[in-house]
Amino acid sequence: EILLEERHQQQETMRRENRRVQAMSW
């Protein structure tokens, strides 16, 4: 479903953001 795909994309984006934040905090 489209909704599921969109949700998956959001998770990917959040994961990337978290990784970037961690890299900055280090």
Q: Can you give the residue ranges of every domain in the chain? A: 1-26
What are the pLDDT digits (tens) for 1-26? Answer: 789 999 999 999 999 999 999 998 87
What is the DSSP code (8-state) at residue 1? -
The confidence score (pLDDT) of residue 1 equals: 75
The confidence score (pLDDT) of residue 21 equals: 93
Q: Give the integer Cα–Cα distance in Å for 12 and 26.
A: 21
The confidence score (pLDDT) of residue 18 equals: 96
Q: Give the integer Cα–Cα distance in Å for 2 and 22.
A: 30
What kind and span of H or E run contains 6? helix 2-25
The confidence score (pLDDT) of residue 25 equals: 82
The confidence score (pLDDT) of residue 2 equals: 80
SS3 26: coil
